[in-house]
Structure 1
Amino acid sequence: MSPLNSDDLHRIFKKLDRNGDGLVSLEELNWLLERIGIHVHTSLDELQALVGKTSLDITDFMVFYETIIKENIGESTSEKKDDSVEGDLAKAFGVFDLNGDGFISCDELQNVLSRLGLWDEHSGHDCRTMINVYDTNSDGLLDFEEFKSMMLVTNS
């Protein structure tokens, strides 16, 4: 995945922290991971063992995000890791491809970003511009290969 910036992470955290107590529960964290297609562990007990806590504050959340990015999207050192990244990207693509047609449209991208708390009318994001950067065939849609190129971009 293309790494999110701290503003994006703060928005996601606030969306997950529904009761406003400054903490995200493991249930909420697990919901987010499943929603974006990253299944770290199958049970909340295993997730707690990984995280070491029953809830995360914003700092813990950001550290957890960095760990997930390094483990799931970082440069691969083996074919097995490559297959894992490809599988995770395919799952993530499915999250964005809401109608299952094999393409991500501007509307689908905006819809998913809204659900993740990364989109509102004041966010400054423009879906068409975001898609056009990686839309190599200029059809206004992202296919899986274009999506993969976008998600594997890292900030230098």
Structure 2
Amino acid sequence: MSSLNTIDLYQIFKNLDKNGDGLVSIDELMWLLKRIGIQCKRDELELLVGNKALDAVDFLFFYETLVIKGNNFYQEKCKVEGEDEVLENNLRKAFRVFDMNDDGFISSEELRTALSRLGLWDESCGQDCRQMINVYDSNSDGLLDFEEFKDMMCA
């Protein structure tokens, strides 16, 4: 998955900071994870985060750590025999979060709607969902099918 830039990450941080205290709490992170279909125990997330809350700088560092470790994790998971079925099921659940009309494709409109529902989209950020999709749209049909989505998540 392509990395988000600092402006995108700061916008996500501001949207996650529901109470406006300048911190993203464990509860706020758990809300996001739950909305995208990831189940996580509070104590595990606290251990991963290392604090009870993250300020904007810590949030950026946390994201970069997840991207680096997450990409390595998913690359390993994609290669590990016997784990393929679990990974495939988790990816299908994540895919369904974005494929709102259940047609087997993620359109730019569905991506924008899903990101808005999760509080991660702001019209003023200037990023076009079509551009985001085009990065992994291998057949250039303007949509992400499950295999393209899987390639994105395992990239």
TM bracket (short chain): 0.7 to 0.9
Task: Tell me how far apart the structure 1 counterparts of residues 6 and 82 of structure 2 sit (CA, whole Å).
Answer: 27
The question of whether the paired residues in 2 share the 8 Å contact of 1:12 and 1:118 is answered with yes
- 1:20 maps to 2:15: no
Q: Scaled by the length of structure 1, what TM-score is found?
A: 0.77
- Distance in 1, Cα, partners of 2:82 & 2:126: 35
Q: Any idea what SS the aligned residue of 2:3 has? A: coil
Q: Would the alpha carbon gap of residues 18 and 121 (structure 1) be closer, same or farther in structure 2, given more than 3 Å must change?
A: same
Q: CA distance change for structure 1 residues 82 and 123 in 2, over 3 Å: closer, same or farther?
A: farther
Residues 52 and 126 of structure 1: CA distance in aligned 2, closer, same or farther (over 3 Å): closer
Aligned length: 151
Residue 118 of structure 1: how far off its partner (Å): 4.4
Amino acid at match of 2:44: E
Q: Which runs of 4+ in 1 moved over 4 A?
A: 84-88
CA distance in 2, matches of 1:81, 1:123: 41
1:5-44 aligned at under 5 Å gives the runs 5-39=5-39, 41-42=40-41, 44=42
Q: 1:91 to 1:62 in 2, by over 3 A?
A: farther
User: 1:93 and 2:91 equivalent?
Assistant: no
Q: From 130, 133, 140, give the equivalent of 1:131.
A: 133
Equivalent residue for 2:149? 147
Structure having the larger proportion of residues in helix: 2
- The Cα of 1:31 is off from its aligned counterpart by 1.3
> Which residue identity does 2:27 align to in structure 1?
E
TM-score by length of 2: 0.77
Aligned match of 2:64 in 63, 66, 83?
66
Tell me the CA shift for residue 70 of structure 1.
Answer: 3.1
Q: Taking structure 1 as reference, are residues 79 and 16 closer, same or farther at Cα in structure 2, changes over 3 Å only?
A: same
What is the rounded CA distance, in whole Å, between the counterparts of 1:7 and 1:38 in structure 2?
25
Distance change >3 Å, CA 131–CA 52, structure 1 → 2:
closer
User: 1:130/1:52 Cα in 2 relative to 1: closer, same or farther (>3 Å)?
Assistant: closer
Root mean square deviation of aligned Cα: 2.7
Check conservation: 1:26, 1:55, Cα contact below 8 A: yes
Q: Which amino acid aligns with 1:134?
A: Y
Distance 1:95 1:17 in 2: 22
Q: Which residue in 1 is equivalent to 2:80?
A: 79
DSSP 3-state at the match of 1:73: helix
